[in-house]
Structure 1
Amino acid sequence: MTKRKIVLAFSGGLDTSYALVDFREKGWEVVTANIDTGGLHSGEAEAVKARAEELGAVEHHVVDARAELYDRVVTYAIKANYLRNGAYPSCVGAERLIQAEKVVEVALRVGADAVAHGSTGAGADHVRYDAVIRALAPHLEIITPVRDERLVREEEAEFLRSRGFAVSEKVKKYSINEGLIGTSIGGEETYGSWEYLPEDAWTYTKSIDQAPETGVELHLTFDRGVVVDATVDGAPLVAADAPNYAILSELNVLGGAHGVGRGIHMGSTMVGNLARVGFEAPGMLILIAAHRELEKLVLSNRQQATKAQLGNTYGDLLHEAVYFDPIMDDFRAFLDSSQTRVTGTVRVKLHKGNIVLLGSSSPHSLLDAATRAGIVYGHGSSAWTGEQARAFAHMYAMPGSIARLAANPAP
């Protein structure tokens, strides 16, 4: 009898390693798909492939999705200045859209009967994967052994070791997901609200104590909200012909070396429970800080206030797997329109964990326009007289004066 074929989203980590062996033992022909959204470093693709083959995969596919992730997801996250609860750049959640789409593409190409992922039922990733699979390939069966069997990491590790497969202690202790947007780290310390992750849990960022005493200065240039050039202490950060995601990738390395990007995020999941996770996201934090600073220079107060609300809503919906609702196209259209004048350069210093915004310039600078009109804040103005200024202040104070009188009715 022909074996049924299943495509497994495979990272080589503990959950997906368990799933691969479990499927094989249950009689499935397992095809693994490793979707590179920035989590593979030099030599790691080969290591993941070797792990898949060791565990019994009949085929292994590697899909480079970094450019598509950057174009479709990262650019809009930066335009929106999106940080979940004001702190977390949605390191993993936003990437699952692209990863799940590519897994479905592999499944359709090889004629699979089912698709699988290693998500647990305790987080949100299983919802993200399922949302994409159901939308793009509703005929495919979705099988999730870790979720369905409610396994914990210790049980998965013991299952693999009992069959002669090695499991590292760090993989057993921490769930680590690395990508272009950032790295998430979950483990014993993040299950509660009091403990902080130990030094050996972080993957590539230095502690503030380990960071260099001397910082570096970045010049980040944006064109309509998209970063297009970067220099560090006057030297190019990336080559002129580098791919669209290269600046973000290099900022992850540079920022991490200077102690930038660590944090622990705590907030409600889409399921409604409170969750806590460590993260490393130097590049996104640097770019969002610089982008927001440039927007202050070129956007009106009303633009900034409205955009902050809509951008946060867009980011939350993306984080919560509302991928295919048409409202997302409406949000992106608004974000694109809002960036018409967001062109210019921002000076940023990285020093011992700090992102210091030194200055900005733009051909659309509202500050420069005011100076040309004769208005210099804190210095003086030739655009109005002292008498006009006094009259404005008098009229501006009237609503407050009237409200004060209304609070104390006449007898």
Structure 2
Amino acid sequence: MTKGEVKKVVLAYSGGLDTSVIVPWLRENYGCEVICFCADLGQADELEGLEEKALASGASKLIVRNLREEFIRDYILPTMQVGAIYERKYLLGTSFARPIIAKHQVEVAALEGADAVAHGATGKGNDQVRFELTYFALNPHLKIIAPWREWTIRSRQDALDYAAEYNVPVTATAEKIYSRDRNLWHLSHEGGVLEDPWNEPEEDMFQMSVSPQAAPDEPEELTISFVQGVPVAANGCQMGLVELVDYLNVVGGKHAIGRVDLVENRLVGMKSHGVYETPGGTILYTAHRELESIVLDKETLRAKDRIALDYADLVYNGRWFTPVREAYDAFVQTTQRTMTGDVRMKLYKGNLIVVGRRSAFSLYNEDLATFGPDMVYNQKDAEAFIKLYGLSMKVQALMK
């Protein structure tokens, strides 16, 4: 007995246990053709053997798009340039991956004549919102199927049993400890021992970074160069965006940079405990902010900081394709016009130490800041300024 009128569905497919099981489940419950779509966002070896697995699971085809360049240019960079960080720690690696996947999923649905889209996000998490808000924004006519909100599968063992029943090839086992999400920006870890936030993450969990104890005993110096807010080089070597992020992940990971242990507030109302590895992203965020410190004036920096809080919420909550996000981007892009220069750092055992910054657009004036002989700033002028600045406080004191 099928659930509804669906002829063809495009499934956001990773090849993991959940999405592999979803393929035969869709065919059984909706009687429809299933096209698997995978966005290459830098998952590395996770893409190996994906087509064979999709077809063996019952899909009619697998479509893979290399979106790594677009991912950095159109999603990561705008978020970094505004300085958006969710709950003071999270650099949003999974959050902005979902709208680009869903955007191309909608495009594939149009090209393939599909009338539905499906995803493997659970009914407890944020990803279901991120996928579905993007579908709403880009094609509200598509039917949305979220198997985790419909099926009777409730555990990893249930999914493995279903895979065995339908001869779905999976490499997962019931002993798999962590739920992970990987792309070229980060690697996230949830589940297992992390479900108790008192537990320390096990060292063998980490894949992109070493521990501070295992990092080199000597610091490594690194200079990041920007042109109008876009990182273009490391240590004077020009690189494309994908190449640069890959390089910084290696360098940062070697020095234990970018590990975050966070108890965060999910959009759906519960808290979750996750560990993130974002070595290259941490380097870029830090360098970008340091360059801003000498290039942007105080009021502009404060305005960006206020926007950054809202922007982080927009990204985390799946509201990427909204007018307000576009408006924020328009403002931030005006602030990046003079964001050209270099930031010098030392990487040492989990520490990212900024040791220098320079720009032809720097607002730092050594003549004004000097503690030496000063021919520009008359210190006596400060007396009248302080009297006016503190007038309200003086009046309050007199009234008492």
TM-score under structure 1 length normalisation: 0.88
Contact 1:123/1:269 (<8 A) preserved: yes
User: 1:185: how far off?
Assistant: 1.3
User: 1:275: how far off?
Assistant: 2.4
The answer to whether 1:343 aligns with 2:358 is: no
Please name the residue that 2:297 is paired with. 300
Please name the residue that 1:32 is paired with. 36
Please name the residue that 2:191 is paired with. 187
Instruction: Report % sequence identity.
Output: 33
User: 1:162: how far off?
Assistant: 4.8
Number of matched pairs: 393
Contact 2:83/2:304 (<8 A) preserved: no
User: 1:403: how far off?
Assistant: 2.9
User: 1:129: how far off?
Assistant: 0.7
Deviations 1:37-70 (A, max 9, x none): 222x2x5433222322332222011111111111
1:151 to 150, 154, 163: 154
2:136 to 134, 137, 140: 134
Q: What amino acid maps onto 1:198 in structure 2?
A: E
Deviations 1:268-315 (A, max 9, x none): 222232222211111111111111111111111111111100122122
Structure 2 runs not aligned, ≥5 long: none
Deviations 1:179-226 (A, max 9, x none): 132122111333333223212322322111222222321111111111
Deviations 1:20-51 (A, max 9, x none): 23224444322111101222x2x543322232
Taking structure 1 as reference, are residues 385 and 332 closer, same or farther at Cα in structure 2, changes over 3 Å only?
Answer: closer
Q: Runs of 4+ in structure 1 displaced over 6 angstroms?
A: none
User: 1:380: how far off?
Assistant: 4.7
Q: 1:381 is paired with a residue of what secondary structure? A: coil
User: 1:122: how far off?
Assistant: 0.5
Q: 1:52 & 1:215 partners in 2: Cα distance?
A: 46
The answer to whether 1:20 aligns with 2:13 is: no
Q: Please say which of residues 264-273 and 60-69 is displaced more in the overlay.
A: 264-273
1:382 to 367, 372, 375: 375
Contact 2:6/2:116 (<8 A) preserved: no
User: 1:251: how far off?
Assistant: 1.1
Q: 1:252 & 1:170 partners in 2: Cα distance?
A: 31
Taking structure 1 as reference, are residues 79 and 386 closer, same or farther at Cα in structure 2, changes over 3 Å only?
Answer: closer
Q: 1:75 & 1:302 partners in 2: Cα distance?
A: 22
Q: 1:133 is paired with a residue of what secondary structure? A: helix
Contact 2:83/2:289 (<8 A) preserved: yes
Deviations 1:219-247 (A, max 9, x none): 1111111111112xx6x3xxx4x543321
Q: 1:174 & 1:62 partners in 2: Cα distance?
A: 25
The CA RMSD measured in Å over matched residues stands at 2.3
Counterpart mapping for 1:225-244 below 5 A = 225-231=229-235, 236=237, 240=238, 242-244=239-241
User: 1:101: how far off?
Assistant: 0.8
Please name the residue that 1:174 is paired with. 178
User: 1:107: how far off?
Assistant: 1.6
Q: 1:185 & 1:334 partners in 2: Cα distance?
A: 34
Counterpart mapping for 1:207-356 below 5 A = 207-231=211-235, 236=237, 240=238, 242-356=239-353
Q: Please say which of residues 275-284 and 86-95 is displaced more in the overlay.
A: 275-284
1:402 to 392, 395, 398: 395
The answer to whether 1:73 aligns with 2:66 is: no
Contact 1:80/1:312 (<8 A) preserved: no
Q: 1:209 is paired with a residue of what secondary structure? A: helix
User: 1:389: how far off?
Assistant: 4.0
Q: 2:49 is paired with a residue of what secondary structure? A: helix
Deviations 1:140-172 (A, max 9, x none): 221121232363333223322455544334883
Q: 2:61 & 2:243 partners in 1: Cα distance?
A: 30
Contact 2:184/2:245 (<8 A) preserved: yes
Contact 1:29/1:57 (<8 A) preserved: yes
Structure 1 runs not aligned, ≥5 long: none
User: 1:266: how far off?
Assistant: 2.1
Q: 1:91 is paired with a residue of what secondary structure? A: coil
TM-score under structure 2 length normalisation: 0.91
Q: What amino acid maps onto 2:116 in structure 1?
A: A
Please name the residue that 2:362 is paired with. 365
Contact 2:252/2:347 (<8 A) preserved: yes
Please name the residue that 2:84 is paired with. 82
